[in-house]
Amino acid sequence: MYKKIAPNPTLSWRPSLLLAMTFVWHAAMLLVLVAFPSAWAWVLIALLINHLVLTAVGLWPRSTWLGPNWTRLPSGSATRGEIALTIDDGPHPEVTPQVLELLDRYRVKASFFCVGDAAGRYPDLCRSIVERGHAIENHTQHHSHYFSFLGPAGLAREIQAAQDTLIAITGCTPVFFRAPAGLRNPFLDPVLAKLGLRLATWTRRGFDTRTSDPVIVSRRLIRGLRAGSILLLHDGNSARSSSGVPVIVTVLPQLFEAAAAAGLHFVTLNQVADNEKR
């Protein structure tokens, strides 16, 4: 039975170097505008460039320029030969049960980043995930394509709604968050800190929502696989092979066998976070 976790404490938040420089830049441009009102066009261009940089960084899922981001497991995990399997966009009524059976067969534990709406439609699947010893994490309430355009209040509502949904269904508190497609903006990090959530993206991904060939997806995950990797697959929105089988169902056994051959073993993200506290 998966361990229940107490409500998350608020994490401390400090602006990243890029955000701190942004604050200074805005203040400097304001002073320039006060001293030289006729330079407003140049000030506007300077601010626009700054915001374009922030936008570009937000479109880079593995970036740490906007704040802390787990793109790999900590060094201690790598030393122990640990890797993490993360599964997004579920639960899915057809795919998730097949994934759970494979995880049981190979004795692998995974972190499921669940969408609140889907969890509400299939609560028994969420409870099954937890009962089988896996972790439930936060992947927003609606998995909106415009998530990265939301302001602080909108981000907080979307993430808190998913947090409330998942806690109500499973009794477990997610400790990690992943944005839809990994896209975010500078407002996200302080919201996550307030809610006690850590941002996690990935080291390697299979692009299994768009690629229907399991061989290609497996190659992307397995080639160069090493300790400390965070791997991403999908039970929700999974592409189907030419025979109609969800790609993740074909890929997982190959991934598990490759990891075992390399002497690697799977852990959940919250197991790693718990070890880091000790």
Q: In the Cβ-directed half-sphere of 130, how many Cα atoms lie within 13 Å? A: 22
For residue 2, pLDDT beyond 70: no
> What is the four-CA torsion angle of 158, 161, 166, 171, rounded to 10 degrees?
140
Count of CB atoms within 10 A of residue 76's CB? 12
Q: How far apart are the first and last CA of the chain?
A: 22
Side chain identity, residue 250 = T
What average pLDDT does range 179-198 have in this prediction?
96
Q: For residue range 78-111, what is the model confidence (pLDDT) as tens digits?
A: 999 999 999 999 999 999 999 999 999 999 999 9
Query: What pLDDT score was predicted for residue 4?
Result: 43
189 classed as catalytic = no
Which entry of 88, 189, 208, 235 is annotated as an active-site residue?
88
pTM of the shown model: 0.92
Which entry of 134, 234, 265, 274 is annotated as an active-site residue?
234
Rounded Cα distance between 62 and 201, Å, is 6
What average pLDDT does range 143-154 have in this prediction?
96
For residue 11, pLDDT beyond 90: no
What average pLDDT does range 237-257 have in this prediction?
96
Query: What pLDDT score was predicted for residue 277?
Result: 73
- Residue 12 banded pLDDT, cuts 50, 70, 90: confident
- Residue 278 banded pLDDT, cuts 50, 70, 90: low
Count of CB atoms within 10 A of residue 83's CB? 24
Q: For residue range 38-89, what is the model confidence (pLDDT) as tens digits?
A: 999 999 999 999 999 999 999 999 999 999 999 999 999 999 999 999 999 9
> What is the four-CA torsion angle of 201, 275, 175, 199, rounded to 10 degrees?
-30
Query: What pLDDT score was predicted for residue 6?
Result: 47
CB neighbour list of residue 271: distance below 8 Å, 6 or more residues apart: 109, 135
Residue 244: left if φ>0, alpha if ψ -120 to 50, beta else—which one? left
Query: What pLDDT score was predicted for residue 8?
Result: 62
159 burial level (CB within 10 Å; 0-12, 13-18, 19+): buried
88 classed as catalytic = yes
Task: Give the three-state DSSP class for 278.
Answer: coil
Q: What would you report as the CA-atom Rg of the chain, rounded to the nearest whole angstrom?
A: 20
Query: What pLDDT score was predicted for residue 275?
Result: 81
Report whether 169 contacts 161 (CB < 8 A).
no
Count of CB atoms within 10 A of residue 269's CB? 25
Diameter of the chain measured on Cα atoms: 70
